[in-house]
Amino acid sequence: MSDSADLERRYRRLLACYPRAFRREYEKEILAVLMAGAGDCQHRPRPGEAADLIVRATWMRLRPRVSPSQPTVLWAVGLIYICAVLKLLGVPILPAQSGSTPQPLHIGISWGVFALLAWANGRRYRWATVLFGVWFGLHTAALVVDIAQGSAFSAPAWAVIGAVVFWLVELSALVLIVIAQSRGARAGSPRRDTGSGFGRSLR
């Protein structure tokens, strides 16, 4: 296999990270740009190129598919992603958890749920609003039980403040999502952004 064919095959593997609809429209254009900028004896994508393609593909799949003219949804999704990052860092959402060692499985599940909810709400799926409401309800119930059992009073002040702030972030996100859903129901479903022009940014 020639260096050129080998390089093209590896580029196609990286481009496979992008959504199918995007690849159908822009893959040939992006591949042509990448091949034109490759060196004569290059047979692997440069590390910077590979990282750039992967980061852009990840963002394209995770970013909210709403117009910037709908800041309510963008803020809501951003708040949920903040919750996901906090859980990934092992920040406890209940005061009683402040003295325990965070379990990787628990952190992974919580982070995964928040990331999924952010992704789905960014695409305006109504089931995602319901699921986030249930998730918030469970967190609220656990927080109330924690307080009722007196665990919050024996926890450090920073843990109590952190738990309340975490709860308020979730509440704010849920309120914004409900507002956006009610507005969307009155005005009709917004047109989804398919990421047009993204390929040109790779030139």
pTM for this predicted structure:
0.59
pLDDT digits (tens, 9 = 90+) for 133-177: 998 998 889 888 877 777 666 777 777 777 888 889 999 999 998
pLDDT digits (tens, 9 = 90+) for 67-125: 666 788 888 888 988 888 887 776 667 765 555 555 666 777 778 888 888 888 887 78
Question: What would the 3-class secondary structure string for 21-69 be?
Answer: HHHHHHHHHHHHHHHHCCCCCCCCCCHHHHHHHHHHHHHHHHCCCCCCC
Query: Do 75 and 140 fall within a single domain?
Result: yes
Query: Do 179 and 81 fall within a single domain?
Result: yes
Query: Do 123 and 168 fall within a single domain?
Result: yes
Query: Do 170 and 105 fall within a single domain?
Result: yes
Q: DSSP letter at 124?
A: T
Q: What letter represents residue 178's amino acid?
A: V
Last residue of a domain, one of 22, 42, 62: 62
Query: Do 76 and 41 fall within a single domain?
Result: no
Domain count, the chain: 2
- Tell me, yes or no, whether 197 lies in a domain: no
Domain hosting 182: range is 71-187
Query: Do 17 and 107 fall within a single domain?
Result: no
CB distance 184 to 73 below 8 Å: no
Query: Do 101 and 16 fall within a single domain?
Result: no
- Tell me, yes or no, whether 200 lies in a domain: no
- Tell me, yes or no, whether 37 lies in a domain: yes
pLDDT digits (tens, 9 = 90+) for 18-45: 888 888 888 999 999 988 888 878 888 8
Query: What number of residues does the chain have?
Result: 203
- Tell me, yes or no, whether 46 lies in a domain: yes
Query: Do 134 and 182 fall within a single domain?
Result: yes
Query: Do 140 and 170 fall within a single domain?
Result: yes
